[in-house]
Amino acid sequence: MNLPAHSTSRPSPSRSGYSKIVVVGGGITGVTCALALQRRGLAVTIVDEGLAERRCSFGNAGSLSPGSVAPLAMPGVLSQVPGMLIDPYAPLHIRARYILQVAPWLWQFIRSASPKRVEEISHGLSALLSSSIELYTKLLTEIRANDLIRRRGQLQLYTSKKGFQKDAAVWALRRARGVTVEDVSLDDIRQLEPAISPRYNCGVYLPNEGMITDPARLVERLAEAFVRNGGQIVNAKVAAFDIDETSPRAVSTNHAPVAGDAFVIAAGAWSNQLSSSIGDKVPLQTQRGYHVTLNNPGIELNRPVVAADRKYFVTPMDMGIRVAGTVEFDRLDSPPNYDRARALVDCIPELLPSITIDKKSLWMGNRPCMPDSLPVIDRSTSFPNVYYAFGNGHLGLTGAPMTAEIIAALVMGETPAIDVSPFHVSRF
Ligand SMILES: Cc1cc2nc3c(=O)[nH]c(=O)nc-3n(C[C@H](O)[C@H](O)[C@H](O)COP(=O)(O)OP(=O)(O)OC[C@H]3O[C@@H](n4cnc5c(N)ncnc54)[C@H](O)[C@@H]3O)c2cc1C
């Protein structure tokens, strides 16, 4: 697929043009954007509905995965679609009642799996993600919250060589992008994580991956720092842009309007509702994921472990061991199907036979997903003072700090640190 050239006729905002920025969305993307803009001397207001648990950033698996440079749609993905439809507990499932609505997105998803496109996408992901841990370390050092980040790598494990072999293209692509990927034997696994069942006997160790020990707390701590530095948070639901003769001057909400010179849409899976109202209808799809957090697991883990054949993460967090994953295509507003979370609980003893499953919490979150696994980080095609920062999908925690750096550079009229052409809003 050829990416359309970005229009050069769109006016460039001048550095001095904006002083008051409104960020819509207070998840990890919104707060990191707000902090990056604030650091450049701008007055920033975050407008967010204020329902922390509704955010995808609240309950994710906490993994910082700079090495996740392979898109979800790899060559051959078409053959997996029937399984997604038939098996309700498949790691990737499409609700039958939703199939017609999701069909256009699925078509783009399948198209993005061509070998040439996968290669291009992996370069985009690599640029976006590779400095994630360094950027978080800097950010968290500034706000004295280093306790939230851990850097002990990640294990991705399989129960058979055959299963491992099935993902060979993914591991080859990661290595081709310079990611350190070390094959591990049963002995290596036992040394790194004694709690793991010998059923999981092969896989890889990714030494340069990291994790956040409490993703909800991360957003809270960043938001607290933002407010301490003079930022404002307004708890309200944005309904629309208030547009004067030339461009948006405020957002209308269920409370008072919030005025600004420029606007950043970082509303996660809900972002398309606002972008399409000003002419940028994007193929943004929610992929619902679930977690189960076991508060008294009775075992120790040192790092995130992925049961790669079943595609779920197990992460040792401050509040217990979190098991997170699964992909469910459904409407943004349909109620959670906690049977999918319970199915995760059923799987855990296969990986961690001594785990105690008693006190647990269940959660569902909406991943904001584009068909090509790349986010939208760009300016609106209609209004130069509206910016987009959404669609980081399965990697939104990892991708947030670089997304924020790009947005800050675009708003300031500077050249971003990386090539932003892979993230253009009009690429579909
Ligand atoms: C089970 C699961 C596991 C995951 N694991 C990982 C992982 O290990 N590593 C990783 O990198 N990523 C992971 N992710 C993905 C990551 O969590 C998301 O990509 C990321 O949190 C998205 O952040 P966001 O700020 O863009 O969106 P959100 O966190 O969803 O925030 C959007 C905010 O915008 C607000 N909002 C929406 N519409 C409006 C409106 N009209 N007015 C006002 N406010 C509005 C919402 O209320 C919300 O607070 C996982 C996701 C899931 C579901």
Which residue among 57, 64, 72, 214 is best mutated to probe the pocket of ligand 1, counting the most ligand atoms within 8 A of its Cβ? Answer: 57
Q: In what order do the strands lie in the sheet with 63-64?
A: 63-64, 210-212, 149-150
Please report, for residues 307, 365, 379, the alpha-carbon distance to residue 304 in angstroms, rounded to integers and kept in the order given. 10, 19, 35
pLDDT tens track of the chain, all 428 residues?
232 233 333 434 445 489 999 999 999 999 999 999 999 999 999 999 999 999 999 999 999 999 999 999 999 887 877 776 666 666 678 877 888 899 999 999 999 999 999 999 999 999 999 999 999 999 999 999 999 999 999 999 999 999 999 999 999 999 999 999 999 999 999 999 999 999 999 999 999 999 999 999 999 999 999 999 999 999 999 999 999 988 999 999 999 999 999 999 999 999 999 999 999 999 999 999 999 999 999 999 999 999 998 899 999 999 999 999 989 999 999 999 999 899 999 999 999 999 999 878 999 999 999 999 999 999 999 999 999 999 999 999 999 999 999 999 999 999 999 999 999 999 99
Helix (H), strand (E) counts: the chain: 12, 21
Enclosing domain of residue 300: 66-113+149-213+284-369
Residue 63: both structure tokens together: 């993994």
Tally of domains within the chain: 1
Tokens of 411: 């708003």
Taking the CA atoms of 337, 341, 344 and 349 in sequence, report the sign of the dihedral they define: negative
Task: Find the angle CA(9)-CA(30)-CA(401) to the nearest 5 degrees.
Answer: 85
**Is the CB–ligand 1 distance for residue 237 below 6 Å?**
yes
Is residue 193 within 6 Å of ligand 1 at its C-beta? no
Atom in ligand 1 nearest the alpha carbon of residue 62: 8
Nearest CA to ligand 1 atom 22: 396
- State the distance from the centre of ligand 1 to the C-alpha of 27, rounded, in angstroms: 6
Residue 230 in any domain: the answer is no
H-run or E-run covering 350? helix 339-351
Q: Is residue 349 part of a domain?
A: yes
Establish if 424 belongs to a structural domain.
Answer: no
Ligand 1 mean position, distance from CA 61 (Å): 12
Distance 186 CA to ligand 1 centre (A): 35
Determine the atom of ligand 1 nearest the C-alpha atom of 325: 1
Helix (H) or strand (E) holding 326: strand 320-329
Assess whether the C-beta atom of 253 lies below 6 angstroms from ligand 1.
no
**Ligand 1 centroid to residue 46 C-alpha, Å:** 15
Q: Ligand 1 centre from 367 Cα, in Å?
A: 6
Residue 128 domain flag: no
How many Å apart are CA 252 and CA 242, to the nearest integer? Answer: 6
Quick check: CB of 28 below 6 Å from ligand 1?
Answer: yes
Ligand 1 proximity of 61 Cβ (cutoff 6 Å): yes
Phi/psi of residue 228, each to 5°? -55, -35
Q: Which of 312, 317, 307, 297 is nearest to 357 (CA)?
A: 297
Residue with CA nearest ligand 1 atom 50: 60
Lay out the sheet containing 262-265: strands in order across: 232-235, 43-48, 20-24, 262-265, 386-390, 376-379
Could you tell me if residue 205 is inside a domain? yes
pLDDT for 9 equals: 39
What is the CA angle 328-331-335, rounded to 5?
Answer: 80
Q: Which atom number of ligand 1 is nearest to the Cα of residue 288?
A: 53
Per the CB < 8 A criterion, the answer to whether 133 and 140 are in contact is: no
- Following DSSP, what letter does each residue of 111-161 receive, concatenated? HTTSHHHHHHHHHHHHHHHTTHHHHHHHHHHHTT-GGGEE---EEEEESSH
Strands 20-24 and 262-265, bridge-based pairing: parallel
User: In this structure, what CATH number is given to the domain that contains residue 296?
Assistant: 3.30.9.10
Task: Decide if 167 is inside a domain.
Answer: yes
Ligand 1 atom with the smallest distance to the CA of 236 is 43
Whether residue 93 lies inside any domain: the answer is yes
Torsion of CA 15, 16, 20, 23, to 10 degrees: -10
What integer pLDDT is reported at residue 395 of this predicted model?
A: 98
Q: Helix, strand, or coil here: 299?
A: coil
| Ligand 1 center–CA 403 separation, angstroms | 13
The preferred substitution site among 397, 403, 406, 407 for testing ligand 1, maximizing ligand atoms within 8 Å of CB, is: 397
3-state percent helix, strand, coil for the chain, nearest multiple of 5: 35, 25, 40
Residue 180 maps to a domain: yes
